Structure 1
Amino acid sequence: MTQSEFDEVRPPEPPRRRRRGDRPGGRRSGRRGGSGAGGDGAREMFMVPEAEFTSYYDKPIVKPPPWGHEVAAYLFLGGVAGGSGLLAAGAQLTGRPKLRRNARLGGMASVCLGGAALVADLGRPDRFYNMLRTFKVTSPMSVGSWILSAFAGGLFVAGASEIDRMLKNRLPLGPLRQVLRFVEGPAGLAAAVFAAPLAGYTAVLLADTANPTWNATHRDLPFVFVSSASLAASGLAMVTTPVAETGPARVLAVLGVAGDITAMKLMERRMDPVAAEPLHHGQAGTLLRWSERLAVAGGLGALLGGRHRAVAALSGLALLSASALTRFGVFEAGIHAAKDPRYTVEPQKRRLAARRAAGITDDSITTAG
């Protein structure tokens, strides 16, 4: 018998069932036919077992992404930074200096921590620099790298001016201090222009993969992530800023809660039911359920008791936690979906059947079977 090097990893074949009429020695009896035997004895009758969603050598059909929790942390911190940049611009335009300062500094800290998480996943800092060597509009990673750089540039200029004021003009800037004060306002507004793209591009990055669950969310996940970023930024502002200046943050929190829950429910409804299963089961399901509960609690706290310092701080922590759990929950759902062939095969079969039912049988996907 010819043997292959893969024989040792080949899954064992299930034992064949003995048919009625077979003798213990492996010979068939002389009787022919009979409905109980499954045929008339003159032809081979096959017994097909129930289909099982397996793959060659127990390997996944879709390769799971080689990402650790550093990437999930980057998804969350990018949302905090983007939402904070937008909130800082609103505070700048409405004359709320403490909210403006805290939002800018919170955004700067989130950018630094998120960049560290991204570099930790990439392995070397120069890999991030290499992504800035070109601009490829069809690559979410390339576009996102430039969005992050543009946002960070504007926010760090505005944040440097805030730090200089906090230190009572003790930074050794010399004549550059006047220049910094002059460009502070435009830099803060420039960062706000890139705030929403920064909060949402990571959703496009996930949905642009072959991962069955992430790809099925491509129409709605950016709205979920932008709403989640609103929760995170408003929650951080409510924790760090006196209630006298957190009016915009409370409004953003309530709008973010409404948008987050609505977008998530709409996304799940529009997804293939099988592709949506990882969002409801296991660790991802637990994270997303708690995210919804904390978002509702934080939104109610901001709406009803946001003028009380203790209630505002607790509501802000709930909103921050809800945003983090949303990002980690979606991330975990995609990791789990890539490991089970069922989440890849069943949605593909449904899409194929739908195309055939619509009369599309002459393209490269469907055939006139």
Structure 2
Amino acid sequence: MPRRRDEMVPDAEFRSYYGQPVIKPPIWHEPHMPTYLYLGGLSGAASTMAAVARLSGDRRLEFSSRLIAFAGGTAGAAFLVAELGRPERFLNMLRVFKTSSPMSVGSWTLAAQGGLTAVGAASAVTGVLPLVGDAASLASGVTGTLMATYTAVLLADTAVPIWHEGRRELPFLFAGSAMASAGGMAMLTTPRAQAGPARAATVLGAAVETAAGAIMERRLGMLSEPYHSGKAGRLMRASRVLTAGGGLLAAVAGRSRALTALSGLAVTAGALCTRFAVLEAGRVSAVDPKYTVVPQRERLDAGRPASVPGR
């Protein structure tokens, strides 16, 4: 009498994928993509700062923030096009609008942000159509909030383990980093006597970024290993030192030109290191199968459903 199939085939003990990656690693390039992530966040946070300055009547800070938002958005778009390879690829992403797709929402947000910041900056420089420029600046405060965080959502909506499992904290990490870098740039381009709000934004942004990073790494447990070793670890450590140091300098800078400059440069460098570290950690966690397999087995053993990107 033939044996049943379940008697002939033993239970498989899946422990690895023969040493091969379970998922494809991200193919984004350096310095194009991490620099775009930084510049997009900078533009978004600066737009929000400009809108707040307009509502509070701080015209000098608003002027600086409008120009920072436009410059960051324009340079960021150039890096994105360089990443895509051909400009028409970005235009193709605007053929449809899907609220369920972070890439689609982000593409339209970037397009709106670019147009609004261009109008706001042109009006601020030329003095032409000030009401239109003010309206565009206020509207860019809304798109700017999205710009400062959507790239984190874009990363978290992938199957890359360290990004997807860090989806709760990544938006706060990127938002804090964007706020700190926008505040730092505003400190460098605004007279020190009028840069108080920019210094406050730098301090708050540095604190949010530092706290979000610490909470994320603690919650990720074993998955956070790439943030502590290799290239990603070195970049993340540099980011912590630069961001925290820049925030502290901003808090005590006052009217000191040297401390203001050091603070602005430190938080800017820290924000760049954060983006490079996050992308490098994503590559490491995608290439090593244990970062995909071990969390899945732990969820299965605990009887919890799998976490699926996009759901």
Q: Provide TM-score, normalisation by structure 2.
A: 0.90
1:102-251 alignment, distance < 5 Å: 102-165=64-127, 177=128, 180-251=129-200
8 Å CA contact retained: 1:76, 1:327: yes
Residue matched to 1:19: none
8 Å CA contact retained: 1:79, 1:225: yes
Rounded to whole Å, the distance in 1 between the matches of 2:286 and 2:130 is 50
Q: Which residue identity is paired with 2:196?
A: G
Rounded to whole Å, the distance in 1 between the matches of 2:219 and 2:245 is 26
8 Å CA contact retained: 2:161, 2:282: yes
Distance 1:146 1:51, change over 3 A: closer
Rounded to whole Å, the distance in 1 between the matches of 2:69 and 2:249 is 23
How far did residue 97 of structure 1 move?
2.9
8 Å CA contact retained: 1:231, 1:322: no
Rounded to whole Å, the distance in 1 between the matches of 2:144 and 2:283 is 27
How far did residue 334 of structure 1 move?
0.1
Residue matched to 2:33: 71
Rounded to whole Å, the distance in 1 between the matches of 2:163 and 2:14 is 26
8 Å CA contact retained: 2:73, 2:113: no
Q: Which residue identity is paired with 1:248?
A: P
Could you say what secondary structure the match of 2:303 adopts? helix
8 Å CA contact retained: 2:246, 2:267: yes
Larger helix fraction of residues: 2
8 Å CA contact retained: 1:235, 1:315: yes
How far did residue 151 of structure 1 move?
1.7
Q: Quick check: 1:253 aligned with 2:215?
A: no
Rounded to whole Å, the distance in 2 between the matches of 1:63 and 1:107 is 34
RMSD: 1.9
- Of residues 22, 28, 48, the one that matches 1:61 is 22
- Of residues 341, 354, 362, the one that matches 2:289 is 341
Rounded to whole Å, the distance in 2 between the matches of 1:326 and 1:88 is 24
Rounded to whole Å, the distance in 1 between the matches of 2:298 and 2:75 is 42
5+ long unaligned stretches in structure 1: 1-49, 166-176
Rounded to whole Å, the distance in 2 between the matches of 1:308 and 1:265 is 31
Rounded to whole Å, the distance in 1 between the matches of 2:94 and 2:181 is 28
How far did residue 59 of structure 1 move?
3.9
Q: Provide TM-score, normalisation by structure 1.
A: 0.76
5+ long unaligned stretches in structure 2: 1-12
Where has structure 1 moved over 6 Å in runs of 4 or more?
none
Could you say what secondary structure the match of 1:105 adopts? helix
Question: Aligned residues, how many?
Answer: 294
Residue matched to 2:246: 298
Rounded to whole Å, the distance in 1 between the matches of 2:273 and 2:254 is 22
Rounded to whole Å, the distance in 1 between the matches of 2:276 and 2:16 is 27
- Of residues 54, 57, 73, the one that matches 1:92 is 54
Rounded to whole Å, the distance in 1 between the matches of 2:210 and 2:181 is 14
The one of the two structures with greater contact order (alpha-carbon pairs below 8 A, sep at least 6) is 2
8 Å CA contact retained: 2:148, 2:174: yes
Rounded to whole Å, the distance in 2 between the matches of 1:192 and 1:306 is 27
How far did residue 100 of structure 1 move?
1.7
How far did residue 182 of structure 1 move?
2.1
How far did residue 310 of structure 1 move?
1.6
1:284-306 alpha-carbon deviations (Å, 9 max, x no partner):
11111111111111111111123
Q: Which residue identity is paired with 1:63?
A: K
Larger Rg: 1
8 Å CA contact retained: 1:242, 1:309: no
Rounded to whole Å, the distance in 2 between the matches of 1:344 and 1:241 is 47
8 Å CA contact retained: 1:90, 1:248: no
